[in-house]
Chain A
Amino acid sequence: MAKGRIEVDERHCKGCALCTTVCPKDLISMAMERLTPRGYHPAELRDPEAACTGCAICAVICPDVAITVYRWIPAAKSLPVSA
Protein backbone atom coordinates (compact mmCIF):
# COMPACT_ATOMS: atom_id res chain seq x y z
CA MET A 1 0.00 0.00 0.00
CA ALA A 2 1.46 3.43 -0.88
CA LYS A 3 2.26 5.50 2.13
CA GLY A 4 2.15 9.23 2.43
CA ARG A 5 1.83 12.23 4.69
CA ILE A 6 0.84 15.86 4.57
CA GLU A 7 2.23 19.01 6.12
CA VAL A 8 -0.16 21.83 7.01
CA ASP A 9 1.47 25.25 6.88
CA GLU A 10 0.11 26.94 9.96
CA ARG A 11 0.94 30.41 8.62
CA HIS A 12 -1.69 29.87 5.94
CA CYS A 13 -4.27 27.46 7.40
CA LYS A 14 -7.39 29.38 8.46
CA GLY A 15 -9.14 26.47 10.09
CA CYS A 16 -11.92 26.27 7.47
CA ALA A 17 -11.95 22.46 7.90
CA LEU A 18 -12.77 21.72 4.26
CA CYS A 19 -9.89 19.25 4.10
CA THR A 20 -11.41 17.29 6.97
CA THR A 21 -14.58 16.78 4.90
CA VAL A 22 -12.85 15.23 1.87
CA CYS A 23 -10.08 12.96 3.21
CA PRO A 24 -11.04 9.46 1.97
CA LYS A 25 -9.63 7.94 5.15
CA ASP A 26 -10.86 10.65 7.49
CA LEU A 27 -7.35 11.26 8.81
CA ILE A 28 -7.51 15.06 9.11
CA SER A 29 -9.08 16.88 12.00
CA MET A 30 -8.92 20.30 13.60
CA ALA A 31 -6.38 20.75 16.38
CA MET A 32 -8.75 22.37 18.87
CA GLU A 33 -6.10 22.45 21.54
CA ARG A 34 -3.89 25.01 19.82
CA LEU A 35 -3.99 28.10 17.61
CA THR A 36 -2.01 29.27 14.59
CA PRO A 37 -0.16 32.62 14.74
CA ARG A 38 -3.28 34.18 13.22
CA GLY A 39 -5.55 32.63 15.82
CA TYR A 40 -7.12 29.77 13.88
CA HIS A 41 -7.37 26.14 14.95
CA PRO A 42 -5.21 24.43 12.33
CA ALA A 43 -6.02 21.22 10.51
CA GLU A 44 -3.67 18.36 11.23
CA LEU A 45 -3.06 14.82 10.07
CA ARG A 46 -3.79 12.20 12.73
CA ASP A 47 -2.58 8.98 11.18
CA PRO A 48 -1.52 6.48 13.87
CA GLU A 49 -1.87 3.51 11.49
CA ALA A 50 -0.05 5.30 8.63
CA ALA A 51 -3.12 5.00 6.45
CA CYS A 52 -2.48 8.18 4.46
CA THR A 53 -1.83 7.34 0.81
CA GLY A 54 -0.68 10.80 -0.24
CA CYS A 55 -3.67 11.11 -2.60
CA ALA A 56 -3.57 14.92 -2.18
CA ILE A 57 -7.35 15.31 -2.28
CA CYS A 58 -7.06 17.51 0.81
CA ALA A 59 -4.60 19.75 -1.05
CA VAL A 60 -6.99 20.03 -3.98
CA ILE A 61 -9.76 21.53 -1.87
CA CYS A 62 -7.62 23.67 0.43
CA PRO A 63 -8.46 27.32 -0.38
CA ASP A 64 -5.22 28.58 1.13
CA VAL A 65 -2.73 26.18 -0.46
CA ALA A 66 -1.64 25.31 3.07
CA ILE A 67 -1.15 21.58 2.47
CA THR A 68 1.99 19.99 1.05
CA VAL A 69 1.75 16.28 0.25
CA TYR A 70 4.45 13.64 0.31
CA ARG A 71 4.32 10.03 -0.78
CA TRP A 72 6.70 7.10 -0.24
CA ILE A 73 7.38 5.57 -3.64
CA PRO A 74 9.96 3.07 -4.88
CA ALA A 75 13.31 4.83 -5.20
CA ALA A 76 13.37 4.25 -8.97
CA LYS A 77 10.23 6.29 -9.74
CA SER A 78 10.82 9.38 -7.56
CA LEU A 79 9.73 12.14 -9.98
CA PRO A 80 7.75 15.00 -8.38
CA VAL A 81 4.26 15.16 -9.81
CA SER A 82 1.74 17.89 -9.07
CA ALA A 83 -1.78 16.70 -8.49
Chain B
Amino acid sequence: MDLSEMVESLVYRKPDSLRDVETHYCPGCTHGLAHRLVAEVIDELGMREKAIGVAPVGCSVFAYNYFNMDFAEAAHGRAPAMATGIKRVNPDNLVFTYQGDGDLASIGAAEILHAAGRGENITVVFINNAIYGMTGGQMAPTTLPGQRTSSTPLGRDVEVHGFPLRMCEVLSQLDGAAYVARRSLHDVANIRKAKKALRQAFEVQLNGLGFAMVELLSNCPTNWGMGATDSLVWIEEHMIPMFPLGDYKVGPGVASVGGRES
Protein backbone atom coordinates (compact mmCIF):
# COMPACT_ATOMS: atom_id res chain seq x y z
CA MET B 1 0.00 0.00 0.00
CA ASP B 2 1.66 3.21 -1.13
CA LEU B 3 1.29 5.61 1.79
CA SER B 4 2.02 8.66 -0.36
CA GLU B 5 -1.55 9.15 -1.61
CA MET B 6 -2.95 8.10 1.76
CA VAL B 7 -3.79 10.66 4.43
CA GLU B 8 -4.32 10.07 8.08
CA SER B 9 -7.79 11.07 9.08
CA LEU B 10 -9.44 11.25 12.41
CA VAL B 11 -11.91 8.44 12.90
CA TYR B 12 -13.01 8.90 16.44
CA ARG B 13 -12.60 11.63 19.03
CA LYS B 14 -14.21 13.01 22.15
CA PRO B 15 -17.60 14.62 21.36
CA ASP B 16 -17.93 18.41 21.70
CA SER B 17 -20.71 17.93 24.25
CA LEU B 18 -18.19 16.47 26.70
CA ARG B 19 -15.63 18.63 28.44
CA ASP B 20 -12.02 17.53 28.11
CA VAL B 21 -11.66 16.79 31.82
CA GLU B 22 -10.90 13.77 33.98
CA THR B 23 -13.94 12.27 35.65
CA HIS B 24 -14.20 11.13 39.24
CA TYR B 25 -15.79 7.83 38.22
CA CYS B 26 -14.04 4.63 39.26
CA PRO B 27 -11.88 2.82 36.70
CA GLY B 28 -14.12 0.82 34.38
CA CYS B 29 -17.34 2.49 35.53
CA THR B 30 -19.75 2.75 32.60
CA HIS B 31 -21.15 6.09 33.77
CA GLY B 32 -18.39 7.66 31.70
CA LEU B 33 -19.47 5.60 28.74
CA ALA B 34 -23.12 6.59 29.14
CA HIS B 35 -22.04 10.25 29.34
CA ARG B 36 -20.21 9.79 26.04
CA LEU B 37 -23.16 8.21 24.28
CA VAL B 38 -25.48 11.02 25.39
CA ALA B 39 -22.90 13.59 24.32
CA GLU B 40 -22.41 11.94 20.91
CA VAL B 41 -26.15 11.90 20.28
CA ILE B 42 -26.52 15.55 21.28
CA ASP B 43 -23.59 16.43 18.99
CA GLU B 44 -25.11 14.47 16.09
CA LEU B 45 -28.44 16.23 16.62
CA GLY B 46 -26.57 19.56 16.66
CA MET B 47 -28.31 20.41 19.92
CA ARG B 48 -25.42 21.10 22.32
CA GLU B 49 -26.28 24.80 22.43
CA LYS B 50 -29.96 24.10 23.02
CA ALA B 51 -29.54 21.39 25.65
CA ILE B 52 -30.16 21.74 29.39
CA GLY B 53 -29.25 18.71 31.49
CA VAL B 54 -30.39 17.96 35.01
CA ALA B 55 -28.01 15.95 37.18
CA PRO B 56 -29.25 13.78 40.05
CA VAL B 57 -27.76 13.07 43.44
CA GLY B 58 -25.57 9.99 43.26
CA CYS B 59 -22.32 9.13 41.48
CA SER B 60 -23.35 11.24 38.52
CA VAL B 61 -24.11 14.29 40.65
CA PHE B 62 -21.07 15.91 39.03
CA ALA B 63 -22.34 15.31 35.51
CA TYR B 64 -22.44 19.10 35.12
CA ASN B 65 -18.64 19.09 35.34
CA TYR B 66 -18.43 16.68 32.41
CA PHE B 67 -21.12 17.80 29.98
CA ASN B 68 -20.26 20.88 27.96
CA MET B 69 -23.72 22.47 28.07
CA ASP B 70 -26.09 24.27 30.44
CA PHE B 71 -26.72 22.07 33.45
CA ALA B 72 -28.60 22.12 36.73
CA GLU B 73 -28.16 19.81 39.68
CA ALA B 74 -31.37 18.60 41.31
CA ALA B 75 -32.24 17.43 44.78
CA HIS B 76 -32.17 13.65 45.17
CA GLY B 77 -34.97 12.15 43.10
CA ARG B 78 -36.37 15.48 41.92
CA ALA B 79 -34.68 15.75 38.52
CA PRO B 80 -37.85 14.90 36.55
CA ALA B 81 -39.76 17.63 38.43
CA MET B 82 -36.94 20.12 37.89
CA ALA B 83 -36.75 19.19 34.22
CA THR B 84 -40.51 19.66 33.98
CA GLY B 85 -40.16 23.16 35.39
CA ILE B 86 -37.42 23.97 32.90
CA LYS B 87 -39.23 22.47 29.90
CA ARG B 88 -42.54 24.17 30.69
CA VAL B 89 -40.97 27.64 30.55
CA ASN B 90 -38.33 26.86 27.92
CA PRO B 91 -40.06 24.44 25.52
CA ASP B 92 -37.48 25.07 22.79
CA ASN B 93 -34.64 23.71 24.88
CA LEU B 94 -33.65 20.06 24.72
CA VAL B 95 -34.17 19.05 28.35
CA PHE B 96 -32.95 15.75 29.76
CA THR B 97 -32.31 14.18 33.14
CA TYR B 98 -29.50 11.76 33.89
CA GLN B 99 -30.35 9.65 36.92
CA GLY B 100 -29.19 6.59 38.83
CA ASP B 101 -31.42 3.83 40.19
CA GLY B 102 -31.60 5.21 43.73
CA ASP B 103 -32.43 8.68 42.42
CA LEU B 104 -35.06 7.57 39.91
CA ALA B 105 -36.59 4.37 41.32
CA SER B 106 -36.35 5.03 45.05
CA ILE B 107 -36.67 8.57 46.39
CA GLY B 108 -37.74 9.91 42.98
CA ALA B 109 -40.29 7.20 42.15
CA ALA B 110 -43.27 9.56 42.33
CA GLU B 111 -41.54 12.20 40.22
CA ILE B 112 -40.61 9.81 37.41
CA LEU B 113 -44.03 8.13 37.48
CA HIS B 114 -45.85 11.42 37.09
CA ALA B 115 -43.43 12.87 34.54
CA ALA B 116 -44.17 9.80 32.43
CA GLY B 117 -47.86 9.96 33.24
CA ARG B 118 -47.98 13.57 32.10
CA GLY B 119 -46.15 12.66 28.92
CA GLU B 120 -43.67 15.35 29.89
CA ASN B 121 -41.68 16.17 26.79
CA ILE B 122 -38.31 15.43 28.38
CA THR B 123 -35.73 12.67 27.87
CA VAL B 124 -34.61 10.55 30.82
CA VAL B 125 -31.31 8.67 30.85
CA PHE B 126 -31.67 6.05 33.59
CA ILE B 127 -28.50 4.30 34.75
CA ASN B 128 -29.35 1.04 36.51
CA ASN B 129 -26.36 -0.52 38.29
CA ALA B 130 -28.36 -2.25 41.02
CA ILE B 131 -26.64 -0.41 43.88
CA TYR B 132 -26.07 2.97 45.55
CA GLY B 133 -22.61 3.89 44.33
CA MET B 134 -21.75 7.28 45.80
CA THR B 135 -22.70 6.39 49.36
CA GLY B 136 -20.64 3.24 49.28
CA GLY B 137 -22.71 0.32 48.06
CA GLN B 138 -26.07 0.11 49.74
CA MET B 139 -29.12 -1.66 48.34
CA ALA B 140 -31.04 0.08 45.55
CA PRO B 141 -34.60 -0.69 44.38
CA THR B 142 -32.96 -2.62 41.52
CA THR B 143 -30.61 -4.67 43.73
CA LEU B 144 -31.07 -8.32 42.78
CA PRO B 145 -32.47 -10.91 45.16
CA GLY B 146 -29.58 -12.44 47.04
CA GLN B 147 -27.21 -9.65 46.02
CA ARG B 148 -24.94 -8.58 48.87
CA THR B 149 -24.72 -4.84 49.51
CA SER B 150 -23.62 -2.88 52.54
CA SER B 151 -27.26 -2.65 53.59
CA THR B 152 -28.09 -6.24 52.66
CA PRO B 153 -24.94 -7.85 54.08
CA LEU B 154 -26.45 -11.34 53.93
CA GLY B 155 -27.85 -10.73 50.46
CA ARG B 156 -31.14 -9.08 49.51
CA ASP B 157 -33.94 -11.10 51.11
CA VAL B 158 -37.16 -10.46 49.21
CA GLU B 159 -39.12 -11.38 52.32
CA VAL B 160 -37.51 -8.49 54.12
CA HIS B 161 -36.33 -6.08 51.41
CA GLY B 162 -38.92 -6.74 48.75
CA PHE B 163 -38.42 -7.25 45.03
CA PRO B 164 -36.45 -5.27 42.44
CA LEU B 165 -38.39 -2.57 40.58
CA ARG B 166 -38.51 -2.90 36.80
CA MET B 167 -39.02 0.72 35.82
CA CYS B 168 -39.33 0.18 32.05
CA GLU B 169 -42.12 -2.31 32.59
CA VAL B 170 -43.82 0.06 35.03
CA LEU B 171 -43.58 3.26 33.02
CA SER B 172 -44.46 1.63 29.70
CA GLN B 173 -48.00 1.12 31.06
CA LEU B 174 -48.59 4.87 31.04
CA ASP B 175 -50.18 6.49 28.03
CA GLY B 176 -47.94 9.54 28.47
CA ALA B 177 -44.83 7.43 27.89
CA ALA B 178 -43.99 7.67 24.19
CA TYR B 179 -40.74 5.69 24.18
CA VAL B 180 -39.39 3.47 26.97
CA ALA B 181 -36.49 1.12 26.25
CA ARG B 182 -33.89 -0.82 28.17
CA ARG B 183 -30.40 -1.41 26.82
CA SER B 184 -27.11 -2.51 28.31
CA LEU B 185 -23.52 -1.27 28.31
CA HIS B 186 -21.86 -4.61 28.92
CA ASP B 187 -20.32 -5.09 25.47
CA VAL B 188 -19.55 -3.20 22.26
CA ALA B 189 -22.57 -4.48 20.32
CA ASN B 190 -24.94 -3.48 23.11
CA ILE B 191 -23.22 -0.12 23.54
CA ARG B 192 -23.98 0.64 19.89
CA LYS B 193 -27.62 -0.38 20.42
CA ALA B 194 -27.75 1.80 23.51
CA LYS B 195 -26.65 4.79 21.46
CA LYS B 196 -29.41 4.15 18.91
CA ALA B 197 -31.99 4.00 21.67
CA LEU B 198 -30.69 7.27 23.15
CA ARG B 199 -30.85 8.87 19.74
CA GLN B 200 -34.47 7.69 19.40
CA ALA B 201 -35.33 9.01 22.86
CA PHE B 202 -33.96 12.49 22.08
CA GLU B 203 -35.72 12.51 18.71
CA VAL B 204 -38.99 11.76 20.54
CA GLN B 205 -38.48 14.99 22.46
CA LEU B 206 -37.48 16.97 19.37
CA ASN B 207 -40.69 15.87 17.69
CA GLY B 208 -42.80 16.69 20.75
CA LEU B 209 -44.04 13.14 21.09
CA GLY B 210 -43.96 13.05 24.90
CA PHE B 211 -41.99 11.25 27.59
CA ALA B 212 -38.96 9.17 26.62
CA MET B 213 -36.68 7.10 28.84
CA VAL B 214 -33.75 4.81 28.11
CA GLU B 215 -32.67 2.53 30.97
CA LEU B 216 -29.04 1.49 30.64
CA LEU B 217 -27.83 -1.54 32.58
CA SER B 218 -24.54 -0.40 33.99
CA ASN B 219 -21.83 -1.64 36.32
CA CYS B 220 -20.29 -0.70 39.68
CA PRO B 221 -16.94 -2.48 39.92
CA THR B 222 -16.00 -0.89 43.22
CA ASN B 223 -19.16 -1.66 45.17
CA TRP B 224 -19.81 -4.98 43.46
CA GLY B 225 -16.31 -5.86 44.55
CA MET B 226 -15.01 -7.01 41.19
CA GLY B 227 -12.88 -5.88 38.30
CA ALA B 228 -14.17 -3.89 35.34
CA THR B 229 -14.18 -6.83 32.94
CA ASP B 230 -15.87 -9.18 35.40
CA SER B 231 -18.49 -6.55 36.20
CA LEU B 232 -19.56 -6.44 32.57
CA VAL B 233 -19.92 -10.21 32.59
CA TRP B 234 -21.99 -9.89 35.77
CA ILE B 235 -24.40 -7.56 33.99
CA GLU B 236 -24.91 -10.12 31.25
CA GLU B 237 -25.22 -13.14 33.51
CA HIS B 238 -27.19 -11.66 36.41
CA MET B 239 -28.79 -8.34 35.55
CA ILE B 240 -30.20 -9.04 32.09
CA PRO B 241 -32.27 -12.04 33.27
CA MET B 242 -33.88 -9.73 35.89
CA PHE B 243 -34.03 -6.71 33.59
CA PRO B 244 -34.64 -8.03 30.05
CA LEU B 245 -33.48 -5.73 27.26
CA GLY B 246 -35.85 -4.38 24.63
CA ASP B 247 -38.30 -1.68 23.67
CA TYR B 248 -41.10 -1.57 26.22
CA LYS B 249 -43.08 1.24 24.70
CA VAL B 250 -42.94 2.61 21.21
CA GLY B 251 -45.83 5.00 21.02
CA PRO B 252 -47.59 6.25 17.94
CA GLY B 253 -45.29 8.21 15.67
CA VAL B 254 -42.18 7.20 17.56
CA ALA B 255 -41.17 4.36 15.26
CA SER B 256 -41.01 6.62 12.23
CA VAL B 257 -38.89 9.14 14.03
CA GLY B 258 -35.13 9.13 14.34
CA GLY B 259 -32.99 6.22 15.34
CA ARG B 260 -31.19 6.59 12.00
CA GLU B 261 -27.56 5.74 12.55
CA SER B 262 -25.58 8.76 11.41
Contacts and interface: CB of A to CB of B under 8 A. Distances in A.
Nearest to A22: B188
A28 interface: no
Interface of B: 1, 3, 5-15, 18, 22-23, 25-33, 36, 40, 43-44, 187-188, 191-192, 221, 228-229, 232, 262
Given A16-B228, A60-B188, A61-B191, A83 B12 contact: yes
By size class, the interface of chain A is 35 or more
A56 B11 contact: yes
Given A12-B22, A18-B228, A78-B7, A65 B36 contact: yes
A74 B2 CA distance: 10
A50 to B, nearest CB: 10
A63 B1 contact: no
Interface string A54-83: 101101111111011111111100111111
Given A16-B27, A21-B229, A65 B11 contact: no
Contacts of B232: 18
A1 B203 CA distance: 37
A11 B22 contact: yes
B5 to A, nearest CB: 5
A17 B44 CA distance: 28
Contacts of B191: 60-61
Contacts of A63: 25, 27-33, 228
Contacts of B8: 70-72
Interface of A: 1, 3-4, 11-12, 14-18, 21-22, 38, 40, 54, 56-57, 59-65, 67-75, 78-83
A59 B187 CA distance: 12
B194 to A, nearest CB: 10
| B contact face: mostly helix, strand, loop, or mixed | mixed
Instruction: With a 10 A CB-CB cut-off, give which of A3, A64, A81 has the most chain B CB atoms.
Output: A64
Contacts of A71: 8-9, 11
B219 to A, nearest CB: 9
Given A11-B22, A17-B228, A65 B14 contact: yes
A73 B7 contact: yes
A39 B198 CA distance: 34
B7 A57 contact: no
Nearest to B218: A63
B9 A80 contact: yes
A82 B9 CA distance: 11
Given A69-B11, A83-B12, 9 more contacts: A1-B1, A3-B1, A14-B27, A56-B12, A59-B12, A68-B12, A69-B13, A70-B11, A82-B12
